[in-house]
Amino acid sequence: MLVKEKLGRRPNKTQYVIGLTGGIASGKSTVSRILCAKGIRVLDADAIGHELMKSGRTAYQEICDTFGNGFLMGNGEIDRKKLGAYVFLEPSALEKLNAILHPRIASQIAIEIRQAGGICVIDAALLIEVGLDVLCDTVWAVRVPRELQLKRLMERNHLSQENALRRIESQLSDAEREKFVTDWIDNSGTVQQLEKQVGELLKKAVKAWEESKKLR
């Protein structure tokens, strides 16, 4: 569900926002860890979504009302793994879950960005699909060859090839992301090569931010 129209353009230009996206199992989280180690603030859309799904938070009751109590654990919390396995088998269910979570995640990220200063990163696999790119000054996307992505996802999530492919295909392809992406990060090599790419892009972002401050 697109929420771009509701987000609008951020009024606070005391920060420089990097959108970080990429397909599942492309290595986006590794890039985030590299950035965090460099002292960059990272807003993790997945982590925010997980918080919003907790008992007492805004998305919890709507998810229970939509999907029933069969996805609750013994402690009353939502079993995200069980729910995730279900919605990726049912496209209509995935749409319903996204319609509940995406606007809330986007609103929370927009709030945190307005409160931020300096350079910050929105780490979101669905950055473009949700419309969070409207909040960004630049968009980085991590990519790997499809066969490597599939192999990593199957091993990481203990999925069959069929289920792994279903999750990959639920997101935009790299070709579809192309027109939104400012810079690509190739994660088919070593960690050292990845760190070098991220460092170079971060220098580029710092320079762009410094230039933008001169124009205010």
Taking the whole predicted model, whether its pTM rises above 0.85 is answered as: yes
Q: What is the mean pLDDT of residues 145-169?
A: 94
Q: What is the mean pLDDT of residues 44-66?
A: 95
pLDDT at 187: 96
Indicate whether 90 pLDDT > 60: yes
What distance in Å separates the CA atoms of residue 121 and residue 162, rounded to the nearest whole number?
A: 32
Q: What percent of the chain has pLDDT over 90?
A: 82
Task: Give the chain's length.
Answer: 216
What distance in Å separates the CA atoms of residue 94 and residue 112, rounded to the nearest whole number?
A: 26
Q: How far from the centroid of its chain's Cα atoms is residue 97's Cα?
A: 16
Is residue 131 within 8 A of residue 3, CB to CB? The reply is yes
Question: Could you tell me the two tokens for 71?
Answer: 């996805």
119-150 residue pLDDT tens: 999 999 999 999 999 999 999 999 999 999 99
> Which of 11-25, 32-46, 75-89, 174-188 has the weakest average pLDDT?
11-25
pLDDT at 12: 52
Instruction: Identify the band that residue 87 occupies on the pLDDT scale cut at 50, 70 and 90.
Output: very high
pLDDT at 1: 42
Indicate whether 180 pLDDT > 90: yes
6-47 residue pLDDT tens: 555 544 567 899 999 999 999 999 999 999 999 999 999 999
Dihedral of the CA atoms 167, 173, 179, 184 (nearest 10)? Answer: 90
pLDDT at 11: 44
209 Cβ partners below 8 Å, 6+ apart? Answer: 16, 118, 119, 137
Q: Which of the 8 DSSP states describes residue 73?
A: -
